[in-house]
Amino acid sequence: MGGSLPDRLNAVARPVSNLLFVGLVAGLVVTKSHLLVQVGGSGMLAITVVVALSLSLPSLVRGPTPDRAALALTTGVRNLSLALLLSTTYFDALTTITVLAYGLVMYLLSVPLALYYRRSISRTPEV
């Protein structure tokens, strides 16, 4: 068996965690999608624009692709957990649903971007 114990565990844990996460999101969308209607079309459009801008603006920064990828993805996913904590603690259910809708859109747009960056970085020769 090759690799260290952490590498071997990572090789198993990463795909399992990704699969569980996709299953969780799919289950929530199937069972709770009727709640997204409360956010409204204009709310979903605003969320989509904010996420798209936060993911695309870092691509305007000059620098190596790995740095731009890290900046774009961190900017896109920043503070979702904090927003969920604050919304469930201090605000009403609609605020929490809106934050969850943001998270759903964020992941739906971030995952394809992450896969794109992974392919483009793996094809880039090292300097």
pLDDT over 90 for what percent of the chain? 5
CA distances from 59 to 2, 66, 105, 123 (A): 37, 11, 19, 18
Which two tokens mark 126?
Answer: 């090292």
At 45 the pLDDT is 92
pTM equals 0.71
Q: What is the pLDDT of residue 2?
A: 66
**Collapsing DSSP states into helix, strand and coil, what is residue 123?**
helix
CA quadruple 82, 83, 84, 90: dihedral sign: positive
Domain regions of the chain by residue span: 1-33, 39-123
